[in-house]
Amino acid sequence: MSGAGYSFLLFEIVCVVLLTASLLHHYGNWRRQQLVVTGVTFLAWQFCFLIVFILPTDINCTFYEDCLMSNVSGLEANGTSAPACREPWNHIPRAFLVSFWRVIYWSCQFLTWIFLPIMQSYAKAGEFNVLGKVKVSLVDNALYYSTYLLIFAICFIYVATRPDIHIDFAQLRVIGITASNTWGLVLIVLFLGYGLVELPRTVWSAGCPGESLKRAYFRLAKVNSELIEHQEELEDLAAEAVQLAECVPGPEHPLAANARTVAELAESSGYCGGRDAGLGRGKPTASSIAAARRRLNEDEDGGGLTAKRLVKLHCQLKKAIGLEQRSRCLLQEAYASAAFLEDIESNRGSRLHFFRRGEGDFDSESGGLLRRLLGPGVEFYWKCHARSWLLRGAACFLLAASGLMLWCECTFFIKWPVLTPLALLVQAGRGALSVQLICLLAIGYLCACTYFTVFRLKLFNYFRLVPNHQTDENSLIFSGMLFCRLTPPLCLNFLGLVHLDSHLASGLKAQTAYTQLMGHLDLVAIISNGVNLYFPIAILLLALASYFRLGSRLLHCLGVQHSTGGLLKSTDSGDEEDELFARKPPPARQLPRSSGAAGAAAAPVAELSPSPPRSSRFERLLQADGEPVEFEADTQPLFPSARAAVQQQQLRQQPPPYKSGSGRGGFFDDV
């Protein structure tokens, strides 16, 4: 391997390590979570990102080797030598690339099918010893193993019934890769079809502050409702844990240590004194103890202190504490997001070209570099005008890229004439550095759309990637499993898009080292001709379904609260076309005067009507039960009950240690 190729490979590995570490730091919390969970998630994400970054180099080296093979063939056939082939500056020998792909691919397969599922069940298990957690992990993952073995058995039986094929280890390896890629292609159709449409739409929506503010109000009420539910559940579980601890006859009881562990976990949650007591320590309330006793008596185990009950309660407590902390942080994000968008809407209607913030504790983007360096004038033009147009322009560019990818997915299996624009571009610039850049951008966009769906995906309370260090261990491990299952078949699909598979391209004598490892998958004709070629057309159908929001409209018909298009809908109103927040934009604020030249420039502000403090305007979006309310143009502010007011006051006094941008909703929000 040349020195330049080695240096470039090392540079790519360092970039991938930094990218993975920054993302994992943004979503996870290595101080609070188990180090082994953080470590295996880091490895899973890093291996998948390495495939994306190294594959364009493999493609560039393949063109060079194809040129050499063509020269040798021409010399043997005609006796004349073709023009000399120019070796790429970052050329890597094929033997090294094959070994590299073998290590990366089989490491991903080991993680996604064996180690990560066991770690996922181990992290959320409620047992109090290592052996019990391992046993529960193996039982929980029996379904995963049986599913993979079933696909492998079907492929093996099909190959065994063909008399023209002799089964050996190499063919068994291809059968295993085929089964894994088939599973991954099914997920790719769902995730990529959604991401190709929703990624440009999300960027466009971010450039429309008015509609984004309506969605922020809707999300604020929804997150508040979730927080109240999680607080009530955690309070009941904490009371039950204390009640069980009181059932222990003495410290010599065999379950005394386990009961004490559960009780300490309940006390650490801060809800032993009830939700209205904030984070203070204390005894459970009478109502909580009564509810806990009823559950103990009505339990199918017959009540009393048992090992099974302690294990179940320990698992429920860990999950409830994580959900409550996550909902609390999401509520703070919703406040910050709504404050930021309200500032933009208020300043856009101002006749002063200075960006001013409203009153309240939730100042948007506090300490921003732009505000400190360039002043309120530049900040006004950026946030109120330039930012919106820049996001809309980026959305148009992403929409064009999505259309190009959809066209390529629908036409890449046609050998002649070549209708895939990516294949024409790559074949026209064989071996050039621009080809490597085009491949990197194309495969990067495909992965960005697919990973975008993974980061937006919400499966009840089982899986959800939450920024601001609030993602739980189960979701981190599950994301690593998804990445390891999606990336290898997605990259193999990309090689088909650019016609670098010798079974799709005519005249290509060399094949990539990645294809040499993965194979052409034509050993099983049913999968190669049916799934791996024509099944990606289903991406177009999923994209159309995402564009017309068929999933959200179906949920709306079923009575699930959600947002559709630019209007936020509420199924409680009874009218399908009523807007949830049918109200005028926030009025302009009464901004304070300044002294000197700045005060003279701010004189016209006195003509603007004042607005209530930000906390009041946010609190009127919430009721005691956390449900969103409907507004009319002349509606007076609605204030929550005493309990909700105390809760909001506690949130203002004890904000979480981190803050991040606004959350987003989408196609899978209400699944």
Q: Average pLDDT, stretch 424-453?
A: 87
Dist. CA 11–CA 34, nearest whole Å: 30
Dist. CA 510–CA 62, nearest whole Å: 6
> Does the pLDDT of residue 610 top 70, yes or no?
no
CB atoms within 10 A of CB 40: 19
Do residues 181 and 489 touch, judged by C-beta distance below 8 A? yes
Band (pLDDT 50/70/90 cuts) for residue 652 is very low
pLDDT of residue 628: 40
148 Cβ contact list (under 8 Å, min separation 6): 113, 179, 180, 183
Nearest to 584 by CA among 620, 618, 635: 635
Do residues 40 and 73 touch, judged by C-beta distance below 8 A? no
Band (pLDDT 50/70/90 cuts) for residue 503 is low
**Half-sphere exposure of 211 toward its Cβ, with a 13 Å CA cutoff?**
18
pLDDT of residue 165: 67
527 residue type, one letter: I
Band (pLDDT 50/70/90 cuts) for residue 153 is confident
> Does the pLDDT of residue 232 top 70, yes or no?
yes
Share of the chain above pLDDT 90, in %: 19
Span of 228-232, 285-289, 532-536, 583-587 with lowest mean pLDDT: 583-587
329 residue type, one letter: C
Nearest to 447 by CA among 19, 60, 30: 19
Four-point Cα dihedral 483, 486, 492, 498, nearest 10: -90
Do residues 55 and 514 touch, judged by C-beta distance below 8 A? yes
SS3 category, 631 = strand
- Could you tell me how far CA 63 lies from the centroid of its own chain? 35
Most confidently modeled range among 154-163, 164-173, 312-321, 421-430: 312-321
Dist. CA 424–CA 405, nearest whole Å: 14
Question: Do the strands 463-464 and 562-564 form a parallel or antiparallel pair, or are they unpaired?
Answer: unpaired
90 residue type, one letter: N
Residues forming beta bridges with residue 459, ordered by sequence position: 463
In this predicted model, what pLDDT tens digit does every residue of 351-396 receive, in sequence order? 777 777 765 545 444 445 666 777 778 888 888 889 999 999 999 9
In Å, what is the CA distance from 651 to each residue of 126, 215, 274, 549? 30, 22, 16, 35
pLDDT of residue 228: 92
Q: Which two tokens stand for residue 602?
A: 């701010």
Do residues 54 and 44 touch, judged by C-beta distance below 8 A? no
- Could you tell me how far CA 311 lies from the centroid of its own chain? 30
In this predicted model, what pLDDT tens digit does every residue of 313-334 receive, in sequence order? 888 898 888 889 888 888 888 8
Q: For residues 459 and 593, which has the higher predicted lDDT (pLDDT)?
A: 459
Q: Average pLDDT, stretch 285-311?
A: 61
Dist. CA 152–CA 170, nearest whole Å: 14
Q: For residues 634 and 346, which has the higher predicted lDDT (pLDDT)?
A: 346
> Does the pLDDT of residue 440 top 50, yes or no?
yes
Q: For residues 345 and 99, which has the higher predicted lDDT (pLDDT)?
A: 99
Do residues 661 and 468 touch, judged by C-beta distance below 8 A? no
Q: What are phi and psi of 469, to 5 degrees?
A: 65, 30
> Does the pLDDT of residue 596 top 70, yes or no?
no
Q: Which two tokens stand for residue 337?
A: 């997001």
pLDDT of residue 416: 79
What is 489-545 written as a DSSP string?
A: HHHHHHHHHTT-STTTSSS-----HHHHHH----SSHHIIIIIHHHGGGHHHHHHHH
Q: Average pLDDT, stretch 182-192?
A: 85
> Does the pLDDT of residue 625 top 70, yes or no?
no
Q: Average pLDDT, stretch 34-54?
A: 93
In this predicted model, what pLDDT tens digit does every residue of 76-129 receive, in sequence order? 555 555 567 788 888 899 899 999 999 999 999 999 888 998 888 888 787 777
Span of 87-91, 476-480, 628-632 with lowest mean pLDDT: 628-632
Q: Average pLDDT, stretch 136-141?
A: 82
> Does the pLDDT of residue 51 top 50, yes or no?
yes
Band (pLDDT 50/70/90 cuts) for residue 41 is very high
Q: Average pLDDT, stretch 544-561?
A: 80
Dist. CA 442–CA 628, nearest whole Å: 42
Dist. CA 553–CA 562, nearest whole Å: 9
Q: Which two tokens stand for residue 153?
A: 């058995």
Band (pLDDT 50/70/90 cuts) for residue 564 is very low
pLDDT of residue 534: 66
Q: Provide the terminal-to-terminal Cα distance of the chain, rounded to the nearest Å.
A: 50
pLDDT of residue 525: 57
Nearest to 273 by CA among 324, 235, 231, 228: 235
Q: For residues 311 and 611, which has the higher predicted lDDT (pLDDT)?
A: 311
- Could you tell me how far CA 553 lies from the centroid of its own chain? 23
Do residues 292 and 236 touch, judged by C-beta distance below 8 A? yes
pLDDT of residue 122: 84
Q: For residues 537 and 327, which has the higher predicted lDDT (pLDDT)?
A: 327
Q: For residues 336 and 295, which has the higher predicted lDDT (pLDDT)?
A: 336
> Does the pLDDT of residue 435 top 50, yes or no?
yes
> Does the pLDDT of residue 586 top 50, yes or no?
no
Q: State the residue for tokens 């209400």.
A: 670
Nearest to 107 by CA among 61, 57, 50, 188: 50
Dist. CA 590–CA 606, nearest whole Å: 7
pTM of the predicted model, to two decimals? 0.76
CB atoms within 10 A of CB 36: 12
In this predicted model, what pLDDT tens digit does every residue of 266-278 receive, in sequence order? 888 777 654 444 3
CB atoms within 10 A of CB 316: 18
- What interhelical angle do 209-246 and 286-298 show, nearest 10? 70
Dist. CA 347–CA 212, nearest whole Å: 15
Q: Which two tokens stand for residue 129?
A: 């010893």
As a residue count, the chain comes to: 671
Nearest to 355 by CA among 586, 591, 584, 585: 591
Which regions of 391-474 does DSSP assign to beta strands (E)?
A: 458-459, 463-464
297 residue type, one letter: N
Dist. CA 220–CA 212, nearest whole Å: 12
pLDDT of residue 99: 94
Q: For residues 586 and 349, which has the higher predicted lDDT (pLDDT)?
A: 349
SS3 category, 563 = strand
509 Cβ contact list (under 8 Å, min separation 6): 66, 69, 70, 73, 502
Q: Average pLDDT, stretch 205-227?
A: 89
> Does the pLDDT of residue 542 top 80, yes or no?
yes
Q: Which two tokens stand for residue 614?
A: 């930000």
Q: Which two tokens stand for residue 155?
A: 């492929």
Do residues 305 and 259 touch, judged by C-beta distance below 8 A? yes
